[in-house]
């Protein structure tokens, strides 16, 4: 956007607005550029023209808590500029940003000679922003407390699972030793794989609760991996009266963490099965290579179902933690974990849906 049209500039009469535009320094900052640190002396007010800036408070072990953000037509740094106190948070670019910065000296000089109406507009905006930031910070604290509880619960589950899972694995190995026919060996191998998946799923949930996703990347054929996923869930899909259709070229190879991506397909499938509400349904998985402006060459995986769909009111929050969009048995973490895994791979995910017609998840992963 043009600087002259920024809402901060429009607070002022034409003469002062023009002078502010002349004094402003416009700069472009790359992703993750640190604009200022917590505790720094305030020297500039920043107006966002493009991109996004996040504000983070230092926690512990080099961890930061995001407390607010600023988008185009918003501004930040006003508290330090107005009262001269050190910066209360760190400002970092989360999307490439174009900012206009006005020095504290010049801004205070203009404010001293500005009508009270402009000052009132400025303070009205600041109060609104303060309320929004406070509300967001309270949400972040509540989310953090929930994640601590989830982490404690998963640790307990993992501890309790060790003994029965070991028993299942030992039993399957003994059955294989006593029965050498191919079908028995295949079912025993499937039992072992499924117990390993249970351990992997609890580990993924624990990683999510800790706010991290450690990837063990390797190259693998995506079609083979998706066929493996369908095979693992054959009984589940059959019992639920679900047909799965896969369209994926064999030659497509991806570099990623296969186990974590299997968790993505599993969570998407579980959501789809629940959407059918015990009625016969179909899941469509289509994969192709595409070119995009932000990811260059990438894999486009589309995961669709013909279930009941999701309402327009719930779609914007579908990837938020603890949002279950009406599912009786949902925890609200499935789609949040999906997004965290896709983000960790440097990919993107979006969703579209129509009531009584179905839901489609579009996933883009870099090659």
Q: Give residue-wise pLDDT tens across range 294-329.
A: 556 789 999 999 888 888 888 887 887 666 655 555
Q: Indicate the pairing of strand 242-247 with strand 253-256.
A: unpaired
Top-level class of domain 218-366: alpha beta
DSSP codes, 10-57 = HTS-HHHHHHHHHH-EEEEE-TT-EEE-TTPPP-EEEEEEEEEEEEEE
Q: What is the pLDDT of residues 349-362, one digit of tens each?
A: 999 988 888 889 99
Residues above pLDDT 70, as percent of the chain: 80
pLDDT in tens, 166-191: 788 788 888 888 888 888 887 787 77
Of the candidates 280, 285, 309, the residue with the CA atom closest to the CA atom of residue 299: 285
Better-predicted residue by pLDDT, 192 or 228: 228
- The pLDDT, as a whole number, for residue 295 is 54
Domain 145-210 in CATH 1.10.10:
no
The overall average pLDDT reported for the chain is 81
Helices 258-276, 182-210: inter-axial angle, 10-degree rounding: 90
Q: Is the pLDDT of residue 347 over 80?
A: yes
Q: Name the segment(s) of the chain with CATH classification 1.10.287.
A: 145-210
Q: State the pLDDT confidence band at 285, using cuts at 50, 70 and 90.
A: very high
The CATH 3.30.565.10 portion of the chain extends over 218-366
In this structure, whether the domain defined by 3-114 belongs to CATH 2.40.360.20 is answered with: no
Q: What DSSP assignment string belongs to 122-162?
A: HHHHHHHHHHHHHHHHHHHHHHHHHHHHHHHHHHHHHHHHH
* Residues 228-261: tens digit of each pLDDT: 889 888 888 888 888 999 999 988 888 998 888 9
Checking if the pLDDT of 112 tops 90, the result is no
């Amino acid at each position: 956007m043009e600087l002259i049209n920024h809402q901060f500039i429009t607070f002022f009469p034409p003469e002062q607005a023009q002078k502010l535009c002349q004094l402003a320094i416009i700069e472009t900052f790359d992703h993750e550029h640190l604009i200022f640190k917590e505790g720094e002396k305030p020297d500039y007010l920043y107006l966002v023209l493009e991109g996004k800036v996040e504000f983070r408070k230092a926690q512990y072990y080099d961890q930061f808590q995001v407390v607010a953000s600023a988008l185009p037509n918003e501004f930040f740094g006003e508290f330090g500029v107005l009262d001269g106190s050190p910066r209360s948070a760190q400002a970092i670019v989360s999307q490439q940003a174009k900012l206009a910065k006005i020095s504290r000296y010049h801004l205070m000089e203009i404010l001293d000679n500005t009508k009270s109406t402009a000052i009132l507009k400025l303070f009205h905006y600041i109060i609104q922003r303060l309320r929004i930031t406070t509300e967001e910070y309270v949400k972040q604290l509540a989310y953090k407390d929930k994640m601590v509880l989830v982490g404690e619960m998963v640790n307990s589950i993992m501890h309790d699972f060790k003994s029965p899972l070991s028993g299942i694995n030992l039993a399957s190995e003994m059955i294989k030793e006593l029965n050498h026919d191919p079908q028995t060996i295949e079912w025993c191998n499937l039992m072992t794989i499924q117990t390993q998946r249970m351990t992997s799923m609890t580990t993924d949930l624990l990683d999510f609760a800790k706010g991290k996703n450690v990837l063990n990347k390797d190259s693998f054929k995506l079609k083979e991996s998706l066929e493996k996923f369908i095979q693992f869930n054959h009984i589940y899909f059959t019992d639920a009266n679900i047909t799965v259709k896969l369209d994926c070229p064999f030659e497509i190879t991806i570099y990623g963490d296969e186990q974590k991506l299997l968790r993505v397909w599993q969570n998407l499938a579980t959501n789809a099965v629940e959407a059918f509400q015990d009625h016969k349904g179909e899941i469509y998985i289509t994969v192709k290579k595409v070119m995009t402006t932000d990811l260059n060459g990438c894999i486009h995986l589309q995961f669709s179902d013909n279930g009941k769909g999701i309402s327009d009111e719930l779609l914007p929050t579908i990837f938020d933690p603890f949002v279950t969009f009406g599912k009786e048995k949902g925890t609200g973490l499935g789609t949040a974990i999906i997004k965290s895994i896709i983000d960790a791979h440097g990919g993107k995910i979006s969703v579209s849906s129509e009531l009584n017609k179905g839901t489609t998840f579009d996933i883009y992963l870099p090659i």
